[in-house]
């Protein structure tokens, strides 16, 4: 697996120096993507998803921003040690990025053919005519109808979906190894979202690229992602294969995110929302940054920052927990009530900070959760589903 490791971000820290103080946008982010894999990065606005992407691409605005620590290994090479020009040469041929708002990501004064062809002229030294021919091909690849007639059109003459597809074509032009898509479908309407996502996934599979999909749309993620990294306050709080994360979230925040998806089969019932707001990054709370909003908060959460615990699958078959769950069911207590008392209902022998298995640092690709009570969270999910 690690031979295949395309990108590995280790303990990345980024801060912005503003008039109000130092904004700690990233506080030790670690995640990895393999070739051909899709990693979805989830999180609320301001959780640091885009900043991580910009740091990887090397397009962070550096006067206010500063990389305070960590490393970004791309194909075994630490990007943060490279010079400006070397990093520029990586952008385009080896990694590329798709932006959220396709409507404003294309230069309005240049024709789309010119902009697509620019990739070949800059990075491959292609002639104007050759570049235009390649631009037509690319437009056909991303299913723009009548591409040949439309190469010389300007961005405002295309629909939003088409513009996003042109943006995708531009990012894929040189067949990079890594694509970062920063909320590629948020600015599009729902019918077009699926088309664009499908196209992106198809092309990604075809070229065996690593894809980092930044989004807050949980619906998009389920279909296309292999793994999910959930971010909160500039930190990864949970990292898991997509199915496991949906089935058994091991962090209360992930649980809250999943619960807040509106569901058709529960029409009429009130929509769930995680109470409170994301923390101000100027003043991140002590301990677990999620504790002011966490339904299962305990004293230790207020003082001690939870490290990333490796989540082992055995826990889910822990006999004690199952017995506990069975006992609760047998007692006939109503499920909502036991949920409300949450962690206190869990047997005290599952004390979080004890035991050697939780102190070891998980490998970057491993399933992990940054919650002191990840076991209880998992158990709780199991009790719910059983």
Of the residues 40, 106, 228, 294, which one makes contact with other proteins according to CB under 8 A: 106
- Comparing CB distances to other proteins, the nearer of 41 and 250 is 41
- Of 189 and 206, which has the nearer Cβ to other proteins? 206
Indicate the helix (H) or strand (E) that contains 228: strand 227-231
If the CB atoms of residues 22 and 323 are measured against other proteins, the closer one turns out to be: 22
**Binding-site residue total for other proteins (CB under 8 A)?**
50
Contact indicator for 154, 112 with CB cutoff of 8 Å: yes
Candidate segments 13-21, 139-147, 238-246, 285-293, binder of other proteins by CB under 8 A: 139-147
CA dist., res. 213 & res. 301, Å (int)? 30
Q: Does 171 bind other proteins (CB under 8 A)?
A: yes
Q: How many whole angstroms separate alpha carbon 275 and alpha carbon 375? A: 23
Residue 176: CB minimum distance to other proteins, A: 9
Q: Which residues of 15-43 are buried (b: 16+ CB within 10 A; e: fewer)?
A: bbeeeeeebbbbbbbbbbbbbbbbbbbbb
Q: Which is nearer to other proteins, 157 or 344 (CB)?
A: 157
By the rule CB under 8 A, 230 interacts with other proteins: no
Least gap, CB of 184 to other proteins (angstroms): 12
Question: Tokens for 268?
Answer: 């009429």
Residue 111 touching other proteins (CB under 8 A): yes
What Rg value do the Cα atoms of the chain yield, rounded?
Answer: 23
Could you give the CA distance from residue 139 to residue 338 in angstroms, rounded to a whole number? 56
User: Which lies closer to other proteins via its Cβ, residue 206 or residue 357?
Assistant: 206
Examine residue 215 and tell whether it contacts other proteins (CB under 8 A): no
The residues in 49-78 that bind other proteins, with binding defined as CB under 8 A, are 57, 59, 63
DSSP for 264-312, written as a single string: GGGTTSPPP--SS-PPPTTSPPSSSTTGGG-TT--HHHHH-----EE--
Among 45, 81, 149, 317, binds other proteins (CB under 8 A): 149
By CB under 8 A, tell whether 228 contacts other proteins. no
* Residues constituting the chain: 386
**Shortest distance in whole angstroms from residue 199 CB to other proteins:** 10
Q: 383 and 322 in contact (C-beta within 8 Å)?
A: no
Query: What residues contact 83, with CB distance under 8 A and at least 6 apart?
Result: none
Pick the binder of other proteins from 2, 17, 86, 88 (CB under 8 A).
88
Q: Answer whether 155's CB lies under 8 Å from 163's CB.
A: yes
| The pairing of beta strand 210-215 with beta strand 38-42 | parallel
Q: How far is the CB of 98 from other proteins (least distance, A)?
A: 8
Judge whether 117 and 195 are in contact, CB under 8 Å: no
Distance CA 60, CA 278 (A): 22
Comparing CB distances to other proteins, the nearer of 110 and 323 is: 110
Least spacing, CB of residue 183 vs other proteins, in Å? 12
Element (H, E) at 103: helix 102-105
The H helix count followed by the E strand count for the chain is 15, 12
Contact window for other proteins (CB under 8 A) among 14-22, 134-142, 340-348, 356-364: 134-142
CB nearer to other proteins: pick between 7 and 96? 96
Chain residues binding other proteins by CB under 8 A are 57, 59, 63, 85, 88-93, 96-97, 99-101, 104-111, 118-119, 122-123, 129-130, 132-134, 136-138, 140-141, 143, 148-149, 151-154, 157, 167, 170-171, 175, 206
């Amino acid at each position: 697996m690690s031979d295949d490791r395309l990108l590995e971000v280790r303990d990345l820290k980024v801060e912005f120096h503003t008039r109000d103080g130092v904004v700690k946008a990233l506080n030790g982010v670690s995640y990895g993507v393999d070739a051909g894999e899709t990693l979805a990065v989830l999180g609320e606005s301001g959780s640091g998803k885009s900043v991580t992407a910009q740091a990887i691409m090397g397009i962070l605005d550096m006067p206010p921003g500063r990389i305070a620590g960590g490393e970004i290994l791309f194909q075994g090479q630490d990007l943060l040690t490279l010079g400006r020009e070397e990093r520029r040469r990586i952008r385009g041929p080896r990694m590329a990025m798709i932006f959220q708002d396709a409507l404003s990501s294309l230069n309005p004064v240049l024709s789309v053919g010119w902009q697509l062809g620019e990739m070949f002229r800059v990075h491959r030294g292609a002639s104007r005519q050759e570049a235009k021919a390649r631009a037509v091909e690319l437009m056909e690849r991303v299913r723009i109808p009548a591409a040949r007639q439309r190469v010389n059109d300007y961005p405002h003459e295309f629909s939003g979906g088409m513009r996003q597809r042109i943006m995708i074509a531009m990012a894929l032009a040189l067949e990079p190894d890594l694509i970062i898509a920063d909320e590629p479908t948020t600015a599009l309407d729902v019918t077009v979202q699926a088309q664009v996502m499908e196209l992106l996934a198809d092309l990604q599979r075809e070229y065996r690229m690593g894809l980092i999909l930044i989004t807050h749309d949980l619906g998009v993620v389920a279909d296309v992602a292999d793994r999910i990294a959930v971010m909160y306050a500039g930190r990864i709080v949970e990292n898991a294969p997509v199915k496991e994360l949906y089935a058994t979230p091991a962090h209360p925040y992930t649980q809250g995110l999943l619960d807040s998806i509106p569901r058709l089969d529960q029409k009429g019932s009130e929509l769930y929302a995680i109470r409170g707001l994301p923390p101000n990054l100027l003043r991140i709370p002590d301990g677990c940054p999620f504790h002011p909003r966490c339904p299962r908060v305990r004293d230790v959460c207020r003082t001690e920052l939870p490290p990333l615990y490796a989540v082992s699958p055995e826990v889910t078959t822990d006999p004690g927990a199952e017995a506990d769950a069975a006992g609760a069911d047998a007692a006939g207590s109503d499920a909502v009530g036991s949920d409300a008392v949450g962690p206190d209902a869990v047997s005290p022998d599952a004390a979080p900070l004890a035991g050697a298995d939780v102190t070891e640092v998980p490998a970057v690709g491993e399933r992990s959760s940054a919650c002191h009570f990840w076991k209880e969270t998992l158990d709780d999910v199991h009790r719910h589903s059983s």
